[in-house]
């Protein structure tokens, strides 16, 4: 197990080196975040109208979760997943270009994602359906539902970790992409889970540290009773947290692309150690 953590950490550092060599990769998670915020805002109006309508009818919103409410929720999930997967595909496509030693650019990533629109839409439909079903289970079963959803959600996240690289590289259908991701998960024997979880833990700690430092900075600004200092403190905290989120999303995309590339091509990517990846994808011991 210690060896797996060591290999995952080495892979993470190699992914960070790719990001340092091309910081334009940060553009994709930035645009993804902005677009998802716009999508979320666009759904607030119909949801607000639904709540108001329920109140006028003397019916609490919780009792109004009828077919129409679930349909609205499914539409929200579908659009959100489509936007997120589109930008993830563009990011992963550029990362794969870098890892193959090919010329890469932001425009090339978007061009690749546009050619995968049918596959992206298909996978968004699958992800939205899974998300809605998990939400329904959680609401109907209460605490037990939340526990069940937690386990199923984790299993789904792990199983589909390499779906986007498959879509970006192979252009297969969404169902086949999920099957391919599960196949690669079996071969990777833990590095998918450890690496992705490791990125989350590292950046979770960095986020916590940033929040604590931000609280100290904001507190000092409040004590100074300077409106300018308070605004600057808030701006620094927001920018710092945003930058950490962008770096985390970019590293996850590069990491998944690197794991997929070796599993698919059987060779190390540019900047990655061949022996390291060979150990990572050693056959699973029975």
Phi/psi-derived region of residue 109, left when phi > 0, alpha when psi is between -120 and 50, beta in every other case: alpha
Q: Which residue has the higher pLDDT, 202 or 198?
A: 202
201-232 burial string, b = 16+ CB within 10 Å, else e?
Answer: eebeeeeeebeeebeebbeebeeeeeeebbee
When mean pLDDT is compared across 19-33, 88-102, 176-190, the lowest value belongs to 176-190
Confidence tier at 36 by pLDDT (50, 70, 90) = very high
How far the first Cα of the chain sits from its last, in Å, is 15
Segment 114-139 mean pLDDT: 91
| Nearest C-alpha neighbor of 270 from the set 48, 1, 42, 15 | 15
Q: What angle do CA 68, 73, 77 make, to 5 degrees?
A: 145
User: Which pLDDT score, from 0 to 100, does residue 119 have?
Assistant: 95
User: Which pLDDT score, from 0 to 100, does residue 284 have?
Assistant: 44
Segment 207-215 mean pLDDT: 87
pLDDT one-digit tens code per residue, 14-30 = 788 888 888 999 999 99
Residue 267 has pLDDT above 60, yes or no: no
User: Which pLDDT score, from 0 to 100, does residue 65 have?
Assistant: 55
User: Which pLDDT score, from 0 to 100, does residue 64 have?
Assistant: 45
Question: What is the C-alpha R_g of the chain?
Answer: 21
Domain locations in the chain?
Answer: 1-281
| Nearest C-alpha neighbor of 70 from the set 24, 136, 117, 23 | 136
Cβ neighbours for 147, distance < 8 A, ≥ 6 positions apart: none
Instruction: Return the percentage of the chain with pLDDT > 90, whole number.
Output: 26
Residue 201 has pLDDT above 70, yes or no: yes
User: Which pLDDT score, from 0 to 100, does residue 94 have?
Assistant: 93
Confidence tier at 159 by pLDDT (50, 70, 90) = confident
* Cα–Cα distance for residue pair 217/211, rounded to 1 Å: 10
Residue 226 has pLDDT above 50, yes or no: yes
Residue 56 has pLDDT above 90, yes or no: no
| Nearest C-alpha neighbor of 72 from the set 122, 20, 128 | 128
pTM: 0.81
Alpha helices in 266-280 (DSSP H): 274-280
User: Which pLDDT score, from 0 to 100, does residue 203 have?
Assistant: 82
Residue 192 has pLDDT above 70, yes or no: no
Confidence tier at 42 by pLDDT (50, 70, 90) = confident
**Number of Cβ atoms within 10 Å of the Cβ of 14:** 21
């Amino acid at each position: 197990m210690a060896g797996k953590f060591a290999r995952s950490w080495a892979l993470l550092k190699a992914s960070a080196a790719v990001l340092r060599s091309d910081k334009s990769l940060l553009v994709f998670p930035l645009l993804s975040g902005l677009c998802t915020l716009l999508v979320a805002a666009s759904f607030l109006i119909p949801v607000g109208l639904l709540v108001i309508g329920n109140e006028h009818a003397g019916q609490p919103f919780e009792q109004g979760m009828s077919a129409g409410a679930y349909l609205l929720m499914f539409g929200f999930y579908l659009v959100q997943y489509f936007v997120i997967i589109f930008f993830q595909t563009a990011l992963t496509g550029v990362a794969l270009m870098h890892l193959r030693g090919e010329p890469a650019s932001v425009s090339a990533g978007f061009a690749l994602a546009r050619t995968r629109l049918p596959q992206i839409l298909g996978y968004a439909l699958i992800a939205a359906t899974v998300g809605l079903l998990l939400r329904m289970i959680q609401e109907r079963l209460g605490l037990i539902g939340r526990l069940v959803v937690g386990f199923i959600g984790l299993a789904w996240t792990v199983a589909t970790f390499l779906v986007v690289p498959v879509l970006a590289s192979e252009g297969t259908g969404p169902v086949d992409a999920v099957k391919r991701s599960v196949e690669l998960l079996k071969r990777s024997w833990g590095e998918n889970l450890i690496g992705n979880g490791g990125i989350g833990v590292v950046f979770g700690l960095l986020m916590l540290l940033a929040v604590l430092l931000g609280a100290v900075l904001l507190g000092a600004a409040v004590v100074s009773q300077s409106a300018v200092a308070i605004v600057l403190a808030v701006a620094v905290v927001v920018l710092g947290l945003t930058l950490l989120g962008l770096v985390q999303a970019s590293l996850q995309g590069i990491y998944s692309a690197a794991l997929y590339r070796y599993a698919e091509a059987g060779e190390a990517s540019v900047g990655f150690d061949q022996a390291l990846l060979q150990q990572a994808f050693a056959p699973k011991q029975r």
